[in-house]
Amino acid sequence: MIDHSKRYLLIFESLLLVLSCVTLYATSLYIWGEDISAADDVNDKPVELHQNEAANLNGPAMHYNNYADNGVKSSIFGSMNTSPKVKLVKKTSFWFRDSTSFWFTHHQRNNSHHSDEFKRVCYYRLPESDSADELQPEDVDPFLCTHIILCVGAGATFANNTIVLDADNYDELIERMVALRQQNPSLLLLLSVMRGFDDLVENRTAVIRTAYNCRLFVQHYDLDGLDLDWEFPNWSPDPQLNQKEKFVMLVEKISTALRLVEPTYLLSIAVTGIEPMLDQCYDLPRLSSNLDFISLMAYDYHMYQWYLPFTGHNAPLYPHSSYHGFLATVNIQWSVQALLKRGVPEHKLMMGIPTYGRSWRLLSPEHQGVGAPAISGGFGEGSITYPAAVEFVASADVAAMDAEARVPYAARDKDWISYENVASAAQKAAFVRSNGLGGVMTFTLNCDDWSPLSSIRFPLHSVIKRVLGVGNNSSHDVP
């Protein structure tokens, strides 16, 4: 026979249980409400989010299996012990990370951004081998960038309601990047997702599950956020797809999952700055309000095309004074103004600076200037790293700075390159500074001169950092 106090305890416990279920349901309604109640306008039934999924939003990123929609529906309460498929994570600290931060102190990064500091967002391609020819995580200077966006293999992909990396060794590589925080605890690490958008956005249910799993993914890898590199939404011949609107929906869902509850994570996208694409691909005001920052891919303005067989600049800061019409828009200044005019707040705009250049094969060595006739892309499959450009310039027939576009070019016999050097990178950083933009994005760390044998490592990144007024006093100062 149960005595009264025990019975009351039982009732009390049941009440608590009911209350917590109601809270969970309310939370899920709050976060995903529109999707649970609204009729679906894409092609699916409305979504019932599992309560444990909503609960997990702020809960522990338990185990990798939880990401994939593989039928294992674990809950934070039970299945950890009951499901044989559950794989426990190596690090125990990880297990306790979020839900128990009340009890356990853990490494809490300060990702509240301060408008008085320019962001330096750098793309970094993780190496495919241990070869000394590739930039290894340990050789990345952890103070050069405020944010590093990781790219993997052919690009991380949205698939199976989560983010899929195309090889196993990326786990270890990401861990090695995370280890850089031991030197610079303020370093922020994001992962770039580059593929799988077209299929994903057609399925609203999948978008919602993916958004939730994005959060678990970020927590699992101890990252600070995600970057979406869809090249390009709504740029297909089929306007019926309405990917412009669907991209906003995707960004909203992922943003909610990453940013609505503590701890919050970062979300950014990369956009093109070419005129017709800006309007066709992006609803910039709505995207901006859901993002921490937007990176302008301020490069690839010219490369060899069969229909455009002339040399030109990869990343001209300004147009030539003789340019009119469309040609006058194909430069960074135009793109930046266009983005601001279309509603991107200045402090959220990161202006891209390439560390790579482009190469052309000339029709004739008689014409080696800007706009000279070309017959194909040049050596290196049409692109060239900064150190390779420096080597090329050392034996070039022509090496000049375009006084109007403010970028260098060089020619040797029938080879022609447009590239970025310390002077042009400095001018671009100064442009960011004088226009009060949020900062710069660079593509990539790998294409800068990172060789340990160089007198100045990462010369392009270093000059950008210096011009943006960071580190004049620090031990990591550039000469």
Contacts of 16 (CB under 8 A, 6+ apart): none
CB of 418 to ligand NAG, least distance (A): 27
Q: Contact between 240 and ligand NAG (CB under 6 A)?
A: no
- Our finding on whether 58 is near ligand NAG (CB under 6 A) is no
Taking CA atoms, 446 is separated from 231, 357, 386, in Å, by: 21, 13, 9
Shortest Cβ 206–ligand NAG spacing (Å): 4
Nearest approach in angstroms of CB 31 to ligand NAG is 18
Residues 133-172 that bind ligand NAG (CB under 6 A): 157, 159-161, 164
Residue 328 CB, nearest approach to ligand NAG (Å): 30
Residues 433, 438, 441: CA angle, nearest 5 degrees: 90
The pairing of strands 415-418 and 398-402 is: unpaired
Could you give the CA distance from residue 248 to residue 201 in angstroms, rounded to a whole number?
A: 10
The residues facing 417 across adjacent strands are 359, 410
C-alpha dist (Å) from residue 329 to 278, 292, 362, 410, 440: 12, 27, 25, 24, 20
Record the tokens describing residue 256, joined without a space: 């909610």
What's the rounded Cα separation, in Å, for the pair 7 and 193? 54
| 466 contributes a contact to ligand NAG by CB under 6 A | yes
- Phi (first) and psi of residue 121, to 5 degrees: -95, 120
Place of tokens 């022509």: 398
Residue with smaller CB distance to ligand NAG, 68 or 80:
68
Among 44, 139, 175, 231, binds ligand NAG (CB under 6 A): 44
Total chain residues near ligand NAG (CB under 6 A): 19
Tell me how far apart the alpha carbons of residues 112 and 264 are, in angstroms, rounded to a whole number. Answer: 10
CB 236 to ligand NAG: min, Å: 19
- Of 1, 3, 41, 114, which lies in the binding site for ligand NAG, with binding defined by CB under 6 A? 114
Q: Does 476 bind ligand NAG (CB under 6 A)?
A: no
Q: Tell whether residue 43 is a contact of ligand NAG (CB under 6 A).
A: yes
x/- site string to ligand NAG, residues 248 to 267, per CB under 6 A? Answer: --------------------
Peptide bond into 444 cis (omega under 30): yes
Q: Which residue lies nearer to ligand NAG by CB, 412 or 465?
A: 465
Binding map of ligand NAG across residues 188-227, x = CB under 6 A, - = no contact: ---------------x-xx--x------------------
From the list 136-144, 330-338, 409-417, 467-475, the region that binds ligand NAG by CB under 6 A is: 467-475
Secondary element (H or E) of residue 258: helix 243-259
Could you say which of 82, 321, 322, 472 contacts ligand NAG (CB under 6 A)? 472
User: Nearest approach, Cβ of 390 to ligand NAG (angstroms)?
Assistant: 23
Sketch the per residue contact string, 66 through 85, with ligand NAG: x for CB under 6 A, - otherwise. ---x----------------
DSSP state of 373: B
Residue 402, strand partner residues: 407
- Peptide bond just before 94 cis, omega within 30 deg: no
- Contact positions vs ligand NAG (CB under 6 A): 43-44, 69, 110, 112, 114, 157, 159-161, 164, 203, 205-206, 209, 466, 469, 472-473
